[in-house]
Amino acid sequence: MSAAVLPEADRRRLGAVAYRILGSFHDAEDVIQETQIRWDALGEEGRARIHEPRAWLTTVASRIALDLLGSARSRREAAAGIWLPEPAPDAYLGSAPADPSALADLDESIGLALLIAMETLTPAERVALILHDSFGLSFREIAEILDRTAPAARQLASSARQKLRRRPTPDPQSPARDRVLLAFREACATGDLAALIAALSPEVISRADGGTLIRTAPRPVIGADRVARYLLGILGREEPRENVTAQIVRANGFGALAIFRGEDPIALLDLDISGGLIREIAFIVDPEKLTALRRP
C-alpha cells in the first residue's frame, strides 16, 4: 500500500484545528500523525473516491481531537496544580486559508487567555464553536463529527459564544498594548513594585503552570498587590541575574514576555490586556511547554 504524505497546507490546517481543540502543541502533533495514518490506510483507490480530501481530513482530525480532549481533561483534573495551554509556534496559529489576510483574524482569535476560557466549555461546545467560527464548517458537517443533529450543533456553538462573551474583550495588538507590555517588562526587570501594580487591574488573576517538574502556586493568585509581589518573588529567585534576560516574543498572536537563562527559556508570561490594564496572566514555567521558544 503506497503512502501519501499530506501537503504542508493540510498539515497546518489540521494542526490549527487540533491545537484549538486541545490547547496542546504536542497533542496536536499526535492528531496530525494519526490522521496521516488513517489517510494512508485508505490506499490509492480509497483516496481517489474521496471528492473533498480536505473536508475528510478535517473531519477525521476533529474526531480524533475530540476523543483526546475527553481523556486529557480527566488527566488535567486529576493532576495537582493548575493546567495551562501550551504556547504554539506561529505555524499553528493560522489554517492557511486562501486569503492570506485572514490569518490576522485567526491569530488574534486564539490567544492563551481565550484557550483558558474555553476550558469552561463542554468538549462538544468547544468543537462546535471552533469548527464553525474559525474554520467555516457547516453545522451539518459539525453534527456528523459530534454525532448530533445540525440544530443541536448550532445550539452548542451559540451556548459557547454566550459563555465566552462574559469575559472582557482583549485590547487589539497596537502601540498602546505594546506600551503596557513594555511597562510590565521594565517593572519585572527592575523589581519596581509600584510600577508593576500600576500595570495590573485591581482584580487581576495570575495562574501558573509548572507541570510535574516545577512547583508553583496550586491556585490562582488574585489582586494587583498579591500578584505583583508573587511575580517579583518568583522572578527574583533567578541568580545570577546577569545571565537572565526578558524578551518580548510573539505567542499565540500577541506579545508576551519570555524569560531566558542563557539560551534556555525558563518562563513565559502571557498577558491578557483589556482597557489598558493586565487582567489575566498565564505564567508558564513547565519546561515541556516552552520548547517552541528555544532559540536556534
For the segment 156-188, what is each residue's pLDDT rounded down to a tens digit?
999 999 999 888 888 887 889 899 999 999 999
Across-strand partners of 280?
A: 205, 272
Three cell numbers written together for 138: 457547516
| DSSP state string for 53-97 | HHHHHHHHHHHHHHHHHHHHHHHHHHSSS---PPP--GGGT----
CA distance 102 to 173: 15
Across-strand partners of 264?
A: 261
**Can you list the residues of the chain whose pLDDT is less than 70?**
1-3, 78-80, 89-109, 237-242, 295-296
Question: H or E segment at 203?
Answer: strand 200-209
Are the C-beta atoms of 285 and 86 separated by less than 8 Å?
Answer: no
280: left (phi over 0), alpha (psi -120 to 50) or beta: beta
Which pTM value belongs to this model?
0.84
The whole-number pLDDT of residue 132 equals 95
CA distance 125 to 155: 9
Residues 6+ apart with CB under 8 A from 118: 23, 126, 129, 164
- Which 8-state DSSP code applies to residue 135? T
Are the C-beta atoms of 102 and 116 separated by less than 8 Å?
Answer: no
Distance of CA 145 to the CA centre of its chain: 22
The whole-number pLDDT of residue 169 equals 82
Are the C-beta atoms of 214 and 283 separated by less than 8 Å?
Answer: no
The whole-number pLDDT of residue 280 equals 95
289: left (phi over 0), alpha (psi -120 to 50) or beta: alpha
Question: H or E segment at 254?
Answer: strand 254-261
SS3 226: helix
Are the C-beta atoms of 90 and 110 separated by less than 8 Å?
Answer: no
CA distance 156 to 150: 10
Cis peptide bond N-terminal to 265, omega within 30: no
CA distance 222 to 232: 15
Three cell numbers written together for 128: 462546535
Of 129, 131, 91, 93, residue with least CA distance to 110 = 93
Are the C-beta atoms of 135 and 17 separated by less than 8 Å?
Answer: yes
